[in-house]
Amino acid sequence: MKFVDETIIEVHAGNGGDGVASFRREKYVPRGGPDGGDGGRGGSIHAIADRNLNTLVDFRFARIHRAGHGERGMGSDCYGAAGRDLELRVPVGTLVFDAESGAPIADLAHDGERALLARGGRGGLGNLHFKSSTNRAPRQCTPGEPGESRRLRLELRVLADVGLLGMPNAGKSTFIRAVSAARPKVADYPFTTLHPNLGVVRAGADESFVIADIPGLIEGAADGAGLGHQFLRHLKRTGLLLHMVDAADATLDPVQSVRVLERELRRYDADLADKPRWLVLNKIDALPEGEGERLLAAVVRRLRWKAPAWAISAVAGTGCPALVRAIQDHLSRTRAPDAADAQTPPPEGSR
């Protein structure tokens, strides 16, 4: 299935049904009075997050979505039936924006979460609402209101704890294959990864985290070079970035590689560039014994790198278990304050 993470759709809620002017007509009941019912409300359109979906491809081909219209009111105090609501199922992690103004409408970050996209119109009033002591035979009724119509932009951001960042052929896909059950394509040419891949990493019996691999970045990505920045949005929800660098490529200066990607991150989003980021020197199996650690020390010194730094081989598995353990410990520490805040009772008198 093709991976689609952004699309434009139109949603049209149902119109409300018209109210009706009617009078009671029964044998032996003269001047029966008004009995016109209200029109039914128009159907609304909701989005629902569904964990069983992982792409917006269905909305690439079905762009216009309409809810049902409310039925017209009838005599004998009969109200019109409400229009059928429409539920659009989207992947967990979908953001909804107004396509015209860019204003955010919803962030569906949890399975089963709902958001109203377009509200159905209210039904019109029948003439039974207009009777009074001075108006015994009202002929007034009101039409139903039109439903909302909007153009929306749907944007999918995958939900992961850790994001892999690096240039093409840095070994990101090999790493995610080594530490999880994910099986992204691996080959010896650039841009093997064409869409994000997710893997669940088991760090212990009851410990795990989700890692995301996105296509590699190159210098000039902000101007559309390579695959551009189109997949960087998927790293915005992560709590930790692993900046992976190829240690085996003699034509590549690891320090320059790191600085190029830092500039691209900063051009794309300053908040993303400021996320916690660890340096991971990959493919040390291709270097003489001990050279990987010496190269890592030199890179850290030249970059004045303050965050953790690791030398690993995703192919051979060297250093991977220790890195996974460190990531899990880091995530456990960062999650602990959130859990404590959730369990802290509200101050007395705040209820």
pLDDT at 346 over 60: no
3-state DSSP call for residue 71?
coil
Q: How large is the average pLDDT for residues 289-318?
A: 89
Q: How large is the average pLDDT for residues 256-272?
A: 84
Q: 217 pLDDT band (50/70/90 cuts)? A: low
- The CATH number of the structural domain formed by 6-156 is 2.70.210.12
Closest CA to 9 of 157, 148, 107, 152: 152
Q: How far apart are the first and last CA of the chain?
A: 49
pLDDT at 92 over 90: no
Q: What is the pLDDT of residue 227?
A: 46
Angle at 26 between CA 25 and CA 27, to 5 degrees: 135
Q: What is the pLDDT of residue 339?
A: 47
- β-pairing, 149-156 vs 6-12, is antiparallel
What are the residue ranges spanned by the domains of the chain?
6-156, 162-342
3-state DSSP call for residue 332?
helix
User: How would DSSP label each residue in 125-189?
Assistant: PPGGGG--SS-SS-----PPPPPPEEEEEEEE----SEEEEESTTSSHHHHHHHHSS------SS
Q: What is the pLDDT of residue 15?
A: 96
- Asked whether the CA dihedral 265, 271, 274, 279 is positive or negative, the reply is negative
How far apart are alpha carbons 265 and 241 in whole angstroms? 12
pTM over 0.85: no
Q: Is 76 exposed, middle or buried (0-12, 13-18, 19+ CB in 10 A)?
A: exposed
3-state DSSP call for residue 287?
coil
**Would you tell me how many other CB atoms lie within 10 Å of the CB of residue 288?**
8
Q: What is the pLDDT of residue 351?
A: 35
pLDDT at 226 over 50: no
3-state DSSP call for residue 302?
helix
Q: What is the pLDDT of residue 169?
A: 79
CATH architecture of 162-342: 3-Layer(aba) Sandwich (3.40)
Q: What residues have CB less than 8 Å from 67, skipping those under 6 apart?
A: 12, 13, 14, 42, 43, 44, 45, 83, 84, 85, 86, 118, 120, 147
Choice among 36-40, 52-56, 110-114, 240-244 with the minimum mean pLDDT: 52-56
> Tokens for 237?
């929800």
Rg (CA), the chain: 29
pLDDT at 32 over 70: yes
Give residue 97's identity as a one-letter amino acid code: F
Q: What is the pLDDT of residue 249?
A: 82
Q: How large is the average pLDDT for residues 53-71?
A: 88
